[in-house]
């Protein structure tokens, strides 16, 4: 999955393949919510560091 | 993320549907989002039930307003005139958690509620706007991420019919 930031206030763009969706659909709702929780907690803790934030967004972390 | 909220909404029979990025994610799109966007039955008793649940889970309004005013139609009209779209609550323990309640429903609530998708979790259900309704809502919003969501949701729809 690739995320791309747009100009400030313009949101973001992303792309996911059918295969990525197929895999993610297999997770239970609890696991999907947990994935979101962990990702958001990570961004909240370390998101002020631009390098880490960008690496996370690009899927490198 | 928001599991406690969904659990309480289900237990207390609050009439709501999830309409934002969380709904897209729960349909199976590995998409990041933090906010929980809800379209709710704006009938007074339903709104007050919702407000009490959010309060009990440490959510407070982002603006200096009594959250119970959300149940007051005149107040909502006043907010709309100020271009407000949603009443936002944030969590005092985990501030990245934010819940947006639409102050004006973008489609007929009863009809959308009847078409809702029930996602079964352990001991509770989560109610999502149907894929077609979600696509329609996202089409109206028209931001870049909404257009990406539409493309992803169409893929989900294809996979579900295979």
Mean pLDDT, each 10-residue run in order, chain B (162 residues): 96 97 96 93 97 97 94 94 94 94 93 97 96 94 89 95 83
pLDDT for the residue numbered B110: 97
Helix, strand or coil, per DSSP, at residue B101: strand
- At residue A10 the predicted structure's pLDDT band, cuts being 50, 70 and 90, is low
Place of tokens 């295969």: A19
Place of tokens 């893929």: B155
Helix orientation angle between B131-141 and B144-161, rounded to the nearest 10 degrees: 160
pLDDT for the residue numbered A2: 58
Place of tokens 């747009």: A6
Q: Beta partners for B59?
A: B91
Chain B contact set for A13 (CB, 8 A): 144-145, 148
Partner residue opposite A40 with nearest CB, options B1, B3, B29: B1
Average pLDDT over residues A32-60: 77
Helix, strand or coil, per DSSP, at residue B43: coil
- Say whether residue B3 is in contact with chain A using an 8 A CB cutoff: yes
Helix, strand or coil, per DSSP, at residue B35: strand
Interface probe with B: pick from A8, A14, A30, A39, most Cβ of B within 10 Å = A14
pLDDT tens track for B145-159: 899 999 999 999 999
pLDDT for the residue numbered B56: 97
Alpha-carbon distance of B52 to B14, in angstroms, equals 11
Partner residue opposite B28 with nearest CB, options A3, A25, A37: A25
Interface probe with A: pick from B5, B23, B26, B28, most Cβ of A within 10 Å = B28
Average pLDDT over residues A4-20: 72
- Could you say which residues from 24 to 53 on chain B have a Cβ atom under 8 Å away from some Cβ of chain A? 25-34
Alpha-carbon distance of A52 to B65, in angstroms, equals 36
Cα–Cα separations (whole angstroms), residue A17 to A2, A21, A24, A35, B25: 10, 6, 11, 18, 14
Enter the tokens of residue A37: 């929780």
DSSP state of A24: H
pLDDT for the residue numbered B87: 96
Residues B135/B35, Cβ–Cβ less than 8 Å: no
Taken in order of first residue, the domains within chain B and their CATH numbers are 3-156 (3.30.460.40)
Residue A55 has pLDDT above 70, yes or no: no
User: Taking CB atoms and an 8 Å limit, are A29 and B26 in contact across chains?
Assistant: yes
Average pLDDT over residues A7-18: 74
Enter the tokens of residue A39: 């990702």
Partner residue opposite B152 with nearest CB, options A21, A40, A44: A21
Alpha-carbon distance of B70 to B77, in angstroms, equals 10
Nearest CA in chain A to B94: A41
Residues B8/B51, Cβ–Cβ less than 8 Å: no
pLDDT for the residue numbered A13: 85
Nearest CA in chain A to B151: A15
Enter the tokens of residue B28: 């199976």
Chain A contact set for B126 (CB, 8 A): 29
pLDDT for the residue numbered A7: 47
Partner residue opposite A25 with nearest CB, options B1, B97, B159: B159
Burial of B106 per CB tally in 10 Å (0-12, 13-18, 19+) = middle
pLDDT tens track for B22-37: 999 999 999 888 999 9
Within A1-61, residue ranges assigned H as helices are 18-25, 29-46, 50-57
pLDDT for the residue numbered B70: 95
- Say whether residue B116 is in contact with chain A using an 8 A CB cutoff: no
pLDDT for the residue numbered A44: 83
């Amino acid at each position: 999955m690739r995320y791309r930031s747009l100009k400030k206030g313009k949101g973001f763009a992303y792309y996911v393949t059918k295969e990525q969706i197929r895999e993610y659909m297999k997770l239970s709702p609890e696991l999907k919510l947990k994935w979101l929780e962990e990702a958001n907690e990570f961004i909240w803790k370390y998101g002020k560091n631009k390098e880490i934030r960008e690496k996370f967004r690009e899927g490198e972390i | 993320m928001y599991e406690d909220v969904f659990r309480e909404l289900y237990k207390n029979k609050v009439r709501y549907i999830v309409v934002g990025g969380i709904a897209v994610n729960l349909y199976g799109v590995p998409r990041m989002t933090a906010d929980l966007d809800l379209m709710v039955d704006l009938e007074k008793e339903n709104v007050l039930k919702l407000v009490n649940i959010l309060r009990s889970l440490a959510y407070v309004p982002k603006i200096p307003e009594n959250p119970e005013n959300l149940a007051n139609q005149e107040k909502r009209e006043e907010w709309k005139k100020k271009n407000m779209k949603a009443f936002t609550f944030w969590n005092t323990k985990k501030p990245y958690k934010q819940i947006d309640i639409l102050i004006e429903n973008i489609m007929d609530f009863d009809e959308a509620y009847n078409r809702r998708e029930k996602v079964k979790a352990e001991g509770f259900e989560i109610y999502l706007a149907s894929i077609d309704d979600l696509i329609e809502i996202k089409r109206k919003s028209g931001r870049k991420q909404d257009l990406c969501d539409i493309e992803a949701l169409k893929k989900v729809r294809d996979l579900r019919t295979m």
